[in-house]
Structure 1
Amino acid sequence: MQTPTIVSAEEWEAARKRLLVKEKELTKSRDALSAERRRMPWRPVEKRYEFEGPEGRVSLLDLFEGRRQLILYRAFYEPGVFGWPDHACRGCSMVADQVAHPAHLHARDTSLAFASRAPQPEIARLKERMGWTMPWFTITDDFDRDFDAHEWHHTFSFIREGEQIFLTYFIDGRGVEALGGTWGYLDMTALGRQEEWEDSPEGYPQTPPYAWWNWHDEYTDTPPPAGWTETVTRGITAAQART
């Protein structure tokens, strides 16, 4: 193993600052890409798709759970997949292991679900064994084939206007590496993080950054407490002073 050069604290800090310039450029580029994604055209979902859930048959619309947006991961857990029936696909399992608490997505009017072709009893057993808690449904029709997700994993972003569903984006391949956390998921949606600093089309829902964050078991419809608002203000001011 050929290790990097050993330097003094001053030299190390200078090297870090040079790299920081590129990191900020990458962040701004990622923000611009997300802004462009929020302007992607919407593709209407014309067919009615049905899934099997723990409590019976449900529609794609039901998977929204009343929220505006839905992130749906097409996972591979079914006969023919390596590891069946004890395990799901290794890659899909790594994705499942990294899913953040959904309450933070719910606070942004977004639901998250997984779907595969395994029967519900097998899915329930696997979730218990692996400690996964996300909603996970059984595909019962041509949903995955219609969206070209029958041979490889896809993460879909849907939005609805009333009962009309639209596909706004999907991510597959290495793009899935950025997903699992709340920010990565929101950045792929049509509405984004819904914070005031974002470059979004006029009229999109937006609130002050940081202020909506909460403990996952205490989200409510009430405004954030004054103590948290003051903390956020101080943090933003300090961050701006460093840039």
Structure 2
Amino acid sequence: MATSVIENAKVVSQEEWLAARESLVAEEKRVTHERDALAAKRRRMPWMAVEKKYEFEGPNGKASLLDLFDGRRQLIVYRAFFEPGVFGWPDHACRGCSLGADQVSNLTHLNARDTTLVYASRASQAEIERLKKRMGWTMPWYTITDGFDVDFSVDQWHGHNSFIRDGDKIYRTYFINSRGDEAMGNVWSYLDMTALGRQEEWEDSPAGYPQTPPYKWWNWHDEYASSGSTDPRWAKVVDNAKVTLNL
């Protein structure tokens, strides 16, 4: 018979528990600041010019890599495995990629930071749309038709590639794969891997990078389009709370 979990647990008083928790919180804050410093280094990574032209299939037909930006400044492309030969085909995508897809947050907040997230696989658009409907996924999902996956190190394994554009010129800025993908899915993890970061004033970013006051750009996901600037009532809430906020 397996040993009961309680037999291996240390049970203490409330005072002892609070002291142990405070000690661990100090370590958690250190890790958070180290993660911020790592993101700052990502924002100083050299950029790689994307010289080749790539073609995808999307819901509206053929699309270039530039089209995938959807008019925004930054782009994150996740290579998901959904195609013949993948475990689960044709009913499902790879279990790992599917678990990741289930965690993707509302993309409106990411879009508000001028960043687009898309998924890409080698399955046809008809197959992708069928899968999205079955699983309740809504992220843009394109079909790879050329060597994009090989050129960006996602032909054999999943991964997130981030890009930035200057007009029609595209640059690769970072790449996260393997266990790094475990943290992806929320707006902060996505922004932290991009060249521009969260675009907030507290961040350590190169001169000239876009930055706005923290928290004030947040909005309800269905009101970004109708709210061109920060609601003064929300700004007051943030300003009043700053004495207790710990970046």
Q: TM-score range by the shorter chain?
A: over 0.9
CA shift, 1:224, in A, is 1.2
Query: 2 CA distance for matches of 1:17 and 1:67?
Result: 42
1:202 to 162, 183, 207: 207
CA shift, 1:231, in A, is 0.9
* 1:138 corresponds to 2:170: no
Partner of 1:232: 238
RMSD: 1.1
- Contact 2:77 / 2:117 at 8 angstroms: preserved in 1? yes
Partner of 1:191: 196
5+ unaligned residues in a row in structure 2: which ranges? none
- Contact 2:56 / 2:143 at 8 angstroms: preserved in 1? yes
Q: Which amino acid aligns with 1:55?
A: N
CA deviation digits over 1:35-89, x for unaligned, max 9? 0000000000010000000110000000000000001100000000000000000
- Deviates most, 216-225 or 202-211: 216-225
1:162 to 162, 167, 184: 167
* 1:3 corresponds to 2:8: yes
Query: 2 CA distance for matches of 1:73 and 1:168?
Result: 14
TM-score (norm 2): 0.95
SS at match of 2:57: strand
5+ unaligned residues in a row in structure 1: which ranges? none
Query: 2 CA distance for matches of 1:222 and 1:120?
Result: 34
CA shift, 1:239, in A, is 2.5
- Contact 2:152 / 2:161 at 8 angstroms: preserved in 1? no
CA shift, 1:3, in A, is 3.1
CA shift, 1:226, in A, is 1.4
CA shift, 1:147, in A, is 1.4
Q: Which amino acid aligns with 2:182?
A: E
SS at match of 1:160: strand
SS at match of 1:67: coil
Partner of 1:222: 228
Matched residue count: 241
2:124 to 119, 127, 141: 119
Q: Which amino acid aligns with 1:68?
A: R
Q: Which amino acid aligns with 2:72?
A: R
SS at match of 1:238: coil
User: Alignment identity in percent?
Assistant: 64
Matches within 5 A, 1:58-77: 58-77=63-82
TM-score (norm 1): 0.97
CA deviation digits over 1:151-174, x for unaligned, max 9? 100101000011010000010000
Q: Which amino acid aligns with 2:224?
A: Y
Partner of 1:20: 25
